[in-house]
Amino acid sequence: MSTTTIGQAVAVRDTSPAAMVEQYRDEYATLMPSHVNADQWVRLAVGAIRGDEKLMRAATTDVGVFLRELRTAARLGLEPGTEQFYLTPRKSKAHRGQLIIKGIVGYQGLVELIYRAGAVSSVIVETVRERDVFRYHPGRDERPVHEVDWFAEDRGALVGVYAYAVMKDGATSKVVVLNRAQVMAAKAKSDGAHSDYSPWKTSEEAMWLKTGARRLAKWVPTSAEYMRERLRAAAEVAAEQPESAVGAEPMPQPAEQHVDLGDEDDDAIEGELVDDTWAGGAE
């Protein structure tokens, strides 16, 4: 008669992907930014796979890959299984064509990361459809003019996307404008874009928005860059003050941080602006 120890029983019980996420909750929590609620984050991760048969099957194929993709979401402080951080099933050659989990930073995730850098007061990313009116003349206009008939039954096909940020000092960042050809070029560089499970198939407009937001991210400060500028400014002010006015406690130095967006379409196109007649109604 075979016997099973308590330790063996626990090991067997805890091998499902959902149980593994809950088991490693504390480890994920240590990776997250302080504002993220770890319990809610775990519920989202578990709910995403439990609510989708294909995702559950993909997570089960290689639980290690699934847990690693969640580490990226945790480190970035993004919610898994949402438009902040997509969890998508992808066929894997290493697993003989079986599905595994691929994590992709979404449009809302990119915008969240831009806000979190602390340099901007607002981020505008919008798609333009063929029956919209869009006007933007670089060098003359500070920001685009985009007129939409919100009550139209059909605004037409997607023709472009634009993005810019309003900085905390009121200035406008670089305005990024991409037409359909540029967005499609970015899509072509995206690994798995033609998969049935790709966000390019399931959430096309969100991926247009993401392409614009990703290009904008090149023109706004990263967290480390912005903190360095604040430290430099503080140091200059301190150097100009009398010694007695300088506080005894030094300002903490920010740690260098490289953010891996876990995406495929980076640097797909170098051009940020196309001619200003690409959208319907442009002048």
Angle 32-35-40 from CA coordinates, rounded to 5° = 75
Q: Is 94 part of a structural domain of the chain? A: yes
Residue 237 predicted with pLDDT over 90:
no
Q: Is 178 part of a structural domain of the chain? A: yes
Residue 279 predicted with pLDDT over 50:
no
Confidence of residue 224 (pLDDT cuts 50, 70, 90): low
Same domain, yes or no: 94 and 183 = no
Domain count along the chain: 2
Q: Is 249 part of a structural domain of the chain? A: no
pLDDT tens digits, one per residue of 84-127 = 999 999 888 888 889 999 999 999 999 999 998 888 999 999 99
Instruction: State the chain's mean pLDDT as an integer.
Output: 79
Phi and psi torsions of 130, nearest 5°: -65, -20
Query: Could you give the percent of the chain with pLDDT greater than 90?
Result: 58
Query: Could you give the percent of the chain with pLDDT greater than 70?
Result: 73
Alpha helices in the chain (DSSP H): 6-13, 17-23, 25-31, 38-50, 53-61, 63-76, 107-116, 180-188, 199-202, 204-216, 223-240
Q: Is 247 part of a structural domain of the chain? A: no
- In this predicted structure, what is the pLDDT of residue 240? 53
Confidence of residue 193 (pLDDT cuts 50, 70, 90): confident
- Lowest-pLDDT range, 62-66, 153-157, 209-213, 252-256? 252-256
- Lowest-pLDDT range, 13-22, 130-139, 257-266? 257-266
Q: Is 111 part of a structural domain of the chain? A: no
Q: Is 6 part of a structural domain of the chain? A: no
Structural domain span for residue 271: 117-240+257-283
For CA atoms 245, 247, 248, 252, the dihedral sign is negative
- In this predicted structure, what is the pLDDT of residue 228? 58
pTM: 0.71
- In this predicted structure, what is the pLDDT of residue 97? 86
Q: Per-residue pLDDT averaged across 211-216, rounded?
A: 94
- In this predicted structure, what is the pLDDT of residue 271? 29
Residues linked to residue 147 through DSSP beta bridges, in sequence order: 133
Residue 221 predicted with pLDDT over 90:
no
Same domain, yes or no: 87 and 35 = yes
Residue type at 162?
Y
Same domain, yes or no: 99 and 122 = no
